A and B are shown apart, each in its own frame.
Chain A
């Protein structure tokens, strides 16, 4: 099973004729993803990596039967690209683009939530079901098929965690990059619900960050709705207050969103907490073993 994407997912790339879009389309093809086409307004009829390019998402969907899209459209136009994908009825919209204005996302999210589409990102590495389907920019080879569901607000930190899991012999069911922006399409809770319902996912590893309250809300959800073992790491435990650390989301202000508050909430929900970033994979193993006892 896995969540969100499988070997049957049919994927298009919005922004496929751009340098980055083309590069990662090829990367996904190499991994074995069923890429079926791309969209760039005004470039319909061309081909990229032997895939047909369409002028609109609706045309691409009609011609290819695509049910997922990977968006590399530049930030100024990315919100519109998301809305176009939603309007065309694409089920899974994965926005990789970094740097979309927050107000644009505030306009997009109500439309997404009122639709049948699910949005992952923006400013995220994408989604991968190892051995089946990779939609995004993550290096495929560090993953291995298995039963740990992984989700995170950060890209390279997810790679680090996945690599540790792989080396410890724990494969992954699906890895989801939620995105580092203040407003993103899917939350930890949305993905926790999917992992909990997925029979192939036996345990869950999540990486959060300082700032906001998403991790606290996730902890509360785990406490009441998740029966599978969960481990977590919070990045930025030593970051000074009020400093923006790259991710717009990672700002602490006035004691809200501190690492300490998040760690407490996680522990109270019975989640195994990784003490350091070197301990993420091991924390997951501890969470699984504790449950066995």
Chain B
């Protein structure tokens, strides 16, 4: 689950990580009032969307950037006007962009240097790791690719937390003045603790700022949480902003389906994430474009399959659907019955190609054949892919 920058900063502030004062504004007037209330000579007005790259991003059809500095309340109002209700396109949103519904007005800060840091779980090490770099404010992926030696990394045990010495090692390698080391110790250790306590999956501070007064400040904050741990963080669930999420994806999640909308014309309904990804690959291999990723999971029943069809067919770009089921625990007879039910209640408005394999496959095929439902059956992956691609182009 993703949250907004201002929400992440509220959480960090509560955890004791230094962040700047700021206010959320839903209207240009609120942004002007926030500027006045904050009382600093300069404020940053920042679009709040669930995507990064805002500083370089621009609103559709304009020059307004996602983050700009305001020196007066009138500036803040003008920038907020340029953002609110408009669609911001950044390197992470894709060309369709995301609508800005709120802005964050944040007080300024006298910056000495910009750094980068992030906490995440490193699969190779098998533990959380604090990453830091002197290349702050830049595209960190590019830094990692071109100058990996500039990326520093300190793994830590979730229960012991980051050692004070590890924070000093980083402070030293980052070239921070020794007078700032105690700030760095506190900043890094508190940040790592917050990551563990909140069951975050990513906590990225870019830029992390060395202020002129020698303290460290989180100038930006990007935070995502481990969905599997949300059961023990009811307070975090309340931070979910469904307006930032794809409505079909939200609906699918409620039905226990894993769905990701894509831009193609072939709807996919598959059991298992790996097979679902492979099915998309297969469609593409045969010249089609997948319209979605959809994993019905291991325990799919009639309700789930029907809902899956509703979601897939509600995408008007879909010209054909490929159902690819390898029945293991899920029996092919169950999926066949669910398909017939879905054909009755949802109605197949486009050709549906079905490939069944696995447990009770012969009985499942018989059920489908006897039902008279409008289904194109396929034997094997290649046959299925060729048939669905042909159907989508017919």
Contact = CB atoms under 8 A, between A and B. Distances in A.
Contacts of B290: 238
Interface stretch (B15-23, B73-81, B137-145): B137-145
Contacts, number: 182
Nearest to B198: A103
Interface stretch (B26-34, B54-62, B119-127, B205-213): B119-127
A115 interface: no
A107 interface: yes
B229 interface: yes
A244 B1 CA distance: 11
A103 B326 contact: no
Contact of A235 (B141, B157, B274, B283): B274
Interface string A109-120: 110010000000
Interface stretch (A4-12, A54-62, A151-159, A168-176): A151-159
Range for the number of chain A residues in contact with chain B: 35 or more
B123 A253 contact: no
B275 interface: yes
Given A101-B229, A137-B329, A217 B275 contact: no
A156 B228 contact: no
B159 interface: yes
Interface in A184-227: 207, 209-210, 212-214, 217
A217 B290 CA distance: 30
A250 interface: yes
Contact of B126 (A75, A109, A155, A278): A109
Nearest to A247: B273
Interface in A81-128: 99-104, 106-107, 109-110, 113, 125
B358 interface: yes
B98 to A, nearest CB: 13
Given A106-B127, A106-B128, A276 B281 contact: yes
Contacts of B144: 254, 256
Contacts of B284: 237-238
Interface string B221-236: 0000011110110000
B274 A156 contact: yes
B196 to A, nearest CB: 6
Given A159-B328, A237-B281, A102 B274 contact: no
A245 B124 contact: no
B306 interface: no
Interface string B156-181: 01110000000000000000000000
A248 interface: yes
11 contacts: A75-B231, A101-B232, A102-B121, A102-B228, A142-B358, A154-B277, A163-B357, A212-B124, A246-B293, A276-B382, A277-B278
